[in-house]
Amino acid sequence: MITVHGVPLSPFVRKVQLALRYKGLDFTSIPVMPGDDSDAFSKISPLHKIPVLEHDGFTTPDSSVILRYLDQSFPDKPIYPSDPQSQAKACWLEEYGDTKLVESAAPIFFQRIVRPRFFNEPTDEALVTQKIEVELPPVLAYLNDALPTDGYAVGDHLSIADIGIVSPLMSARHGDYMPDAKTYPKLAAYFERALASDIVQKQLSVELEFMGVN
């Protein structure tokens, strides 16, 4: 029995849900908000961060730790390349996604969707402009260079690299931002391929329902 604690719109929770869908594992979801400092949640997430995975009574926080745990507990459809160099490249792209891409992409979603829709607060347009015009371009350019012209980020099937890159891009997309196909042709095509996949389609429909759009 698998439970994911955390709202699906968090790029880190989304990573875990994408991996579970890829592996074909059923799970239930408890939509904990980031920063929940209740006693019950603090016990399973000392930094009050989401997601936390619960599996048959065992719990662990941290999306990267969770993904590794899932791959070892459910080795079918592995998400880590077996060759050490390919795995290092994939894990580095996950780390880059978790840090630079989240920092520059997720605030677009937060400002344009979360603040007006959930908190009844205005969008900080200057911050959105700063993200889109200043911070995102070098990050997207780096990813565009790192990606192949076709297929997955590393190797011949979905890996931790794809999960780490696609998840924050989905946050940006919720905020009406898509990488420009002329400036970042490989990245834009890669993201379109990801969006067309069954697992991302399923994840999107769950998220849109959560946002009250569908």
Q: Which residues bind a second copy (CB under 8 A)?
A: 46-47, 58, 60-62, 64-66, 68-69, 72-73, 84-85, 87-89, 91-92, 95-96, 99-100, 142
Whole-number CA gyration radius for the chain: 17
Tell me the three state secondary structure of residue 154. Answer: coil
Min CB(55)–a second copy separation in Å: 9
Under 8 Å between Cβ of 160 and 65: no
What is the closest distance, in whole angstroms, from the C-beta atom of residue 178 to a second copy in the complex? 23
Nearer to a second copy, 96 or 191 (CB): 96
Q: How far is the CB of 31 from a second copy (least distance, A)?
A: 22
Select 58 or 119, whichever has its Cβ closest to a second copy: 58
User: Which sign, positive or negative, has the C-alpha torsion 18, 34, 132, 92?
Assistant: negative
Rounded-to-integer distance, Cα 146 and Cα 4, Å? 31
Q: Which is nearer to a second copy, 20 or 91 (CB)?
A: 91
Beta-strand ranges (E) seen in the chain are: 2-5, 28-30, 52-55, 58-61
Q: Residue 60 — φ and ψ, nearest 5°? A: -150, 140
User: CB 15 → a second copy: shortest distance, Å?
Assistant: 14
62 vs 207 by CB, closer to a second copy: 62
